Chain A
Amino acid sequence: MAFDQLSDRLQMALRRIRGKGRLTEDDIDEMMREVRLSLLEADVNFRVVKTFTREVKEKAKGERILKGLNPSQQVVKVVHEELQKLLGGETSVFEPPSQKPMRIMLAGLQGSGKTTTAGKLAKFLQKEHGLKPMLVALDLQRPAAIEQLQTIGRQLDVPVYQEGTQASFASIIDNAAAAAESESADALIFDTAGRLHIDEDLMEELKRVKEMLEPEETWLVLDAMTGQDAVSVADHFHGSLGLTGSILTKLDSDTRGGAALSLRHVTGVPIKFMGLGEKLDALEVFHPERMAGRILGMGDVMTLVDKVSENVDEDDMMKMVEKMASGKFNFDDYLKQLRMVKRMGSLSGLMKLIPGMNKMVKQANVDDGQIEQVETLIHSMTKQERKKPELLKKSSSRRRRVARGSGRRVNDVNRLLQTFDQQKQAMKQMSNMDPSQIDPSNPMGALKGASAKKKPKKGKGKGKGKRKGGVPF
């Protein structure tokens, strides 16, 4: 996931001061040198880095902090706050205007992901705001761009308005309004052609398009892997169009994400959404606070709770919890549980949301393919075997059959049985545990001997520490 490398380096820098009872200004300077390098390496614009390091230094060196209690924790807190500020402070909540239909215009460089994002937005507006979106093709430049938009529209069952590549913008925009009315669409998303921010003619064209459109929202779509140039791109687009927000795409890459940290600072407009995959539902609201926490390895319990409550039926969950506590947990339940997890996204991605788990994901070498493997294994069991895992434990010929049926080795079956047992035990322990005793910096500590692979998110997801998590300071 994005930010991982930046996160590692920043945490290394912070570790220099962690646990120190007393801090000197030299300690801070030394730490900030590292912080500066890690930000630069992450493609954060150097001017932004300069401002950031100056501000952190000033605050961290303040009397209250250096002479206060727990100075190192206080400094980490300062870094966290400043990072959050850099990312935009508060979450910018998107509220559709009361006057319908609303218009959103997307702009950006070639290849930043405008067309895909247009589709994702349509889906988002449908799902989260109950709007009836319509996509409008204003990219008359790129071959087959219109067709791409139409395909996406079909996938989402969202109308797409287009007039081919020869029509004038004025006519498309006029007719789109009429089409929206007849389709009773109340949110229009305009996909424009990608262009270089320094191409004066094309920027002028975009400006004219905007004047004709008078959109409520004008969003810049920016590739999160962009380097130092992100600033110049954002600056130019903002200068010509007067942006109201931005969307970061391809954050599911391993980018260190510097563009995200520069973008807001340069334009002053909030980052609204982030794109996290090629599928049309891979769009999420951008939360500066959660992101800052994630970058500093503090996890992101809020997002986890959101994901759990979005994807898991509470009744199902309660039944599962009862089963776990009573020790009647079998492979059918296990399968159900795996599927719940799968719906929430990748396992490794989920684990990183838990404070202190970031490191463990790497150590435990969590492989998302394993879920699939386990699924195939369970599918190869008979109904009886799924209900009574003991049958498999007792009979090696059953285990061989399952292995053959799933195309895996007997060893894999044995390992699954072992993990399953460990989990069952761990769950029993957890159901007897007081949630307040979980150490946020080491949530796994409470689960000695348990498999580090799957259980922890269940512990949280069950609603034990619901909304209690937050950033562990």
Chain B
Amino acid sequence: MGIRDWFRSKKRKHQAQKYRIGMEKTRASVFNRLNDLLDSNTSIDDELFEDIEELFIMADMGVDTVLDLVGHLRRHVKTKNIKDASQLKDVIVEEMFRRYVRDEIVDTNLTLAESAPSVFLFVGVNGVGKTTTIAKVAKLLQEEGKRVMLVAGDTYRAGAINQLRVWSERVGAEFFAKTAGSDPSSVMFDAIEEARRQDVDVLLCDTAGRLHNKKNLMQELGKIRRVIGREVGGAPHETLLVVDATTGQNGLSQARIFNDVTKLTGVALTKLDGTAKGGIALAIRETIGVPVKLVGLGEKLDDLEYFDIEEYIYGLFADVVDDG
């Protein structure tokens, strides 16, 4: 099946989906410009390549990735002797598809332990939306019939514990907290005991936001992870790095260091309903090898979706190919 056919079948299948709606702004701002660019240019020259480069950089895809991609385009144009700029559309989409979709073997489902409880740990820098994401995941899991407990592991930020408590009430999940300022590892320890007593299936553990370049805070996180692993075999079953879609290339640095300390199993990309392109997710996958598992597409509790790379690429390029 050719790329165009694939796109058409996707289009029929998914037109009404939230994904597409959520990413409307993203598409409108960048990738429509790709269309304009390729339609308005008839000849292919250095300037066009530089413009394409900038477009992708604007999506926060990372300079290295983009240079590599455009390098491929340059070679392709040369060997295939392409003269018409609009022909580049297919080449670009095909290349994105080849890179990110076809070799997709990564399972983006959340891993649950064979016997309860499962422990999910949420980590990330300050202000990315960890607490909100936890509430959304709780809702998702409860709809799948799981008994969920939210664990207030952010004992540092003022109001963080109550923020999670309010969410637990809204989604009707169990809630565990100690007093503000408690050692987060001990919160985890006690929460696991409590979860066993209450037959909880999944613990969703919040942690304080921390900048990845703060050594002692990262050590604290390492300890949290070790304590969880000691109390529940194979835990944490998911360690999700929450990344704000507006994050620039710093996202790579975040992913690299958090992965070193807590061995990430996936990324939750939040705030993708803005104008940010979330290209950093592609960069993280390509350079660190950690897949995006969840995306946040709005402020409401059910605005969380399992990430589907095909959907994402489709979301980015739908108009480019449709119009072509």
Contact = CB atoms under 8 A, between A and B. Distances in A.
B127 A110 contact: yes
A113 B126 CA distance: 8
Interface string B54-68: 100111100100000
B250 A254 contact: yes
Given A111-B126, A278-B156, 17 more contacts: A40-B57, A41-B63, A46-B57, A144-B166, A148-B160, A148-B163, A196-B271, A197-B274, A198-B275, A227-B249, A229-B276, A229-B277, A250-B211, A254-B213, A255-B250, A258-B248, A369-B216
A113 B157 CA distance: 11
A226 B246 contact: yes
A227 B280 contact: yes
Interface in A217-235: 223, 225-230, 232-233
Contacts of A145: 159, 163
B238 interface: no
Contact of B249 (A43, A149, A196): A43
Contact of B125 (A40, A143, A225, A227): A225
Contacts of A146: 159
Contacts of B277: 228-229
B58 A46 contact: yes
A143 B276 contact: no
Contact of B253 (A46, A229, A254, A369): A254
A52 B115 CA distance: 58
A105 B247 CA distance: 24
A227 B63 contact: no
B120 interface: no
A256 B250 contact: yes
A229 B160 contact: no
Interface residues of B, number: 45
A146 B163 CA distance: 10
A37 interface: yes
A225 B247 contact: yes
A112 B274 contact: no
Contacts of B163: 142-145, 148
Interface string A182-202: 000000000000001110000
B248 A43 contact: yes
A155 B159 CA distance: 13
Given A196-B274, A229-B276, A43 B29 contact: no
B244 interface: yes
Interface of A: 37, 40-43, 45-46, 109-113, 142-152, 155, 196-198, 223, 225-230, 232-233, 250, 252-256, 258-259, 278, 369
B256 to A, nearest CB: 10
Most chain A beta carbons < 10 A, residue from B166, B212, B250? B250
Given A43-B248, A197-B274, A144 B159 contact: yes
Interface of B: 25, 29, 54, 57-60, 63, 125-129, 156-163, 165-167, 211-216, 244, 246-251, 253, 271, 273-277, 280
B162 A144 contact: yes
Nearest to B64: A41
18 contacts: A42-B249, A110-B129, A111-B244, A113-B127, A143-B163, A144-B159, A144-B160, A144-B161, A144-B163, A146-B159, A223-B244, A225-B244, A227-B248, A227-B249, A233-B275, A252-B214, A253-B211, A254-B213
Nearest to B248: A227
Nearest to A252: B211
A109 B126 contact: no
Contacts of B246: 109, 223, 226-227, 229-230, 233
A278 B210 CA distance: 9
B236 to A, nearest CB: 23
Contact of A226 (B159, B248, B273): B248
A148 B164 CA distance: 12
B271 A110 contact: yes
Given A110-B127, A228-B57, A228-B58, A143 B247 contact: no
A252 B165 CA distance: 30
B250 A225 contact: yes
Nearest to B273: A196
B249 A223 contact: no
Which 9 pairs across A and B sit closest by C-beta, in order of nearness? A227-B248, A111-B127, A148-B159, A43-B248, A151-B158, A143-B166, A144-B163, A144-B162, A144-B159
Nearest to A47: B54
Contacts of B160: 144, 148
A197 B273 CA distance: 11
Contacts of B25: 198
